[in-house]
Amino acid sequence: MRDYGLGTSNTGDQSVFQDEDGTGYLIYSYGRGRGRVWAARIGAKGGKVDLLQPTKLYQGFGREGNALFKYAGRYYLAGSDLFGWDASRIHFQVADHLFGPYQPLNQTVIMDGSRADFGHITQTGFYYTLHGSRAETVIHCGDRWADFAGNGLGYNQWNPLSFDDSGTPRFNSMSRWKLDADTGLWSVDDANDYVLNGSFEADRVSVGEQGYRDKDGNVIADIAGWRRVNPDAVNNVADAYGRVGDYDLRFAPGRSRSASIVQDLDEPGHVPLHAGRFLLKLSYANPKGMDQARIAIESGGQTSEINLAASTGTDWKQASLLVDLPGGQTKITIDASGSSGQTLHVDDVSLTGVPEKGNETNDVADHDGNGTPAGSGGSASGSVEPDKSLPVRPVAGSGGLSSTLAATSSAIGRAPTLVASCLAAGILFMVVAVYGRRRLIERN
């Protein structure tokens, strides 16, 4: 291959953009790194398909998932954090011409709405623009890397952007939404899940007492979408025994005696919560029991809660509660108190609307496996049952890795340790092989 203006003979992290006149362009980064982004017209040269007019659009911090979209005559260069296969905030620049210059020059702006759950737990993939009779709707298609990266459920996640009067874009994170293909207008579906980062997969870096630095070197002080009241007692943790994805939330009160985390559903990043009936649900594991533990939802001066204090042993359980909410300011709180050695694990927190009978619809974008809740289960104190969303796996107690392996052995009928060791070695080999292949591709 010839050099496409990059200093190397390959391109990386690319997507195709087609302008309104039908001309196609490849949006790509430097083949041996992600610190420079280029655009080139796709055309013919010497009787072969080739890249023409390679033009550098950006040089700065490394960005992945290079993509371009157009709205109201302006061009938006989008990309994700250089986070590998993890989810990312959405970065963008804007220009009046496809080949730039893009502003701010060699810097990116994080798109509003993408911080609270890192773009609905995705990276930028590409964008599709629907030109309706009443609206021009730009749709973000995000890559979730759900299989080998363990980011949750689903692969491509589709969410609409909105724009203010100055043309500044905003990302709208929703699990279910409606789109009128004729008019181009969209709306939130009644059965949308209003909790952001309820599976705690968004940033996928364990949060310490002093926060942590992202890969741009900036401090992120808290878990995406949530606010910890006692930061030293609440952490998102990599846990192979979580429900969906590789992370869950761990409460370990210890010396502080209490731990709490809060999500305000009217904070930036959330779509407006309508009045109606909702199903609050979560999975949790409480190996030794807690002095006190609960999930509570507060709205319109009223509070409903589910008691999570009783021990679940080594198993995960699922709890749910039907609540009627007036809309507007609403807050979800999970808190726990106990002694050193007592821990509470929480995962897959959701608040989904329950459509009225006769208003159900199937013509919606449905992400994350969130369907319309069925039945009328739940009560003032909620209902608890074994979590059947995945095969039951034990959660580790306070004994660390050794107790985790012991609990696992018991759960599978005390299978020989050799089998578990071989399985772990095989998984490790596959991960190393995939990583090595990716590095080889980047070098070439």
Residue 101 has pLDDT above 70, yes or no: yes
Q: Domain ranges for the chain, please list them.
A: 11-173, 236-398
Q: List the strands of the sheet with 74-80, edge to edge.
A: 64-71, 74-80, 90-95, 109-110
What would the pLDDT profile of 165-178 be if each residue is shown by its tens digit?
999 999 999 999 99
Mean pLDDT (whole number) for 302-330: 94
Confidence (pLDDT) at 256: 62
> Whole-angstrom Cα distance, residue 399 to residue 421?
19
**Long-range CB contact pairs, 383-386, < 8 A, 24+:** 383/319, 383/320, 383/321, 384/306, 384/317, 384/318, 384/319, 385/317, 385/318, 385/319, 386/315, 386/316, 386/317, 386/318
Give mean pLDDT, residues 187-204: 92
Lowest mean pLDDT among 122-126, 198-202, 397-401: 397-401
Query: Which pairing describes strands 36-45 and 48-59: parallel, antiparallel, or unpaired?
Result: antiparallel
**Least confident among 145-149, 150-154, 380-384, 424-428:** 424-428
Tokens of 107: 């810097």
In this prediction, residues 374-401 reach a mean pLDDT of 45
CATH topology of domain 11-173: Tachylectin-2; Chain A (2.115.10)
What is the arithmetic mean of pLDDT over 384-413?
39
Return the number of other C-beta atoms located less than 10 Å from residue 432's C-beta.
10
Give the angle 159-164-170 at the CA atoms, nearest 5°.
30
Residue 359's pLDDT is 55
Q: Using the 8-state DSSP alphabet, how is residue 195 labeled?
A: -
State how far the Cα of 168 lies from the Cα of 425, in Å rounded to an integer: 48
Q: Which amino acid is at 203?
A: D
The residue ranges of DSSP E strands in 46-144, in sequence order, are: 48-59, 64-71, 74-80, 90-95, 109-110, 123-131, 136-143
Please classify residue 194 by burial: count the beta carbons closer than 10 Å to its beta carbon, then call 0-12 exposed, 13-18 middle and 19+ buried. buried
**Which has the minimum average pLDDT: 289-298, 372-381, 434-443?**
372-381
Cα–Cα distance, 349 to 329 (Å, whole number): 18
Better-predicted residue by pLDDT, 8 or 285: 285
- 313 CB-near residues (< 8 Å, 6+ apart): 287
Q: Write the CB contacts of 259 (distance below 8 Å, at least 6 apart in sequence).
A: 229, 230, 233, 234, 251, 252, 253, 335, 336, 337, 344
Sheet bearing 330-337, strands edge to edge: 227-228, 258-264, 330-337, 292-299, 302-307
Q: Which pLDDT does position 79 carry in this prediction?
A: 95
Q: What is the structure's pLDDT at 230?
A: 82
pTM of the model: 0.80
pLDDT tier at 216, thresholds 50, 70, 90: low
Ranking 23-27, 345-349, 389-393 by mean pLDDT, the lowest is: 389-393
- Kindly report, residue by residue over 140-194, the tens digit of the pLDDT: 999 988 777 788 888 899 999 999 999 999 999 999 999 999 999 999 999 999 9
Spatial neighbors of 133 by CB under 8 A, at least 6 apart, are 182, 183, 184
pLDDT exceeds cutoff 50 at 434? no
User: How is residue 73 written in tokens?
Assistant: 């005559």
Highest mean pLDDT among 47-61, 98-112, 191-205, 248-262: 98-112
Q: What is the mean pLDDT of residues 435-439?
A: 44
User: Predicted confidence band at 268 (pLDDT cuts at 50, 70, 90)?
Assistant: confident
Band the pLDDT of 333: cuts 50, 70, 90: very high
Q: Which residues pair with 15 in a beta bridge?
A: 27
Cα–chain center distance at 342: 29
Name the phi and psi angles at 10, rounded to 5.
-135, 165
Cα dihedral across residues 390, 394, 396, 398: positive or negative? positive
Is 80 exceeded by the pLDDT of residue 125?
yes
Q: What is the reported pLDDT for 304?
A: 96
Chain center to CA of 370? 14
413 vs 226: which has the higher pLDDT: 226
The contacts of residue 109 (CB under 8 Å, 6+ apart) are: 91, 92, 93
Cα distance between the two ends of the chain = 11
If one compares 298 and 236, the residue with the highest pLDDT of the two is: 298
**CATH superfamily, region 236-398:** Galactose-binding domain-like (2.60.120.260)
Separation CA 14–CA 9 (nearest Å): 14
130, pLDDT greater than 70: yes
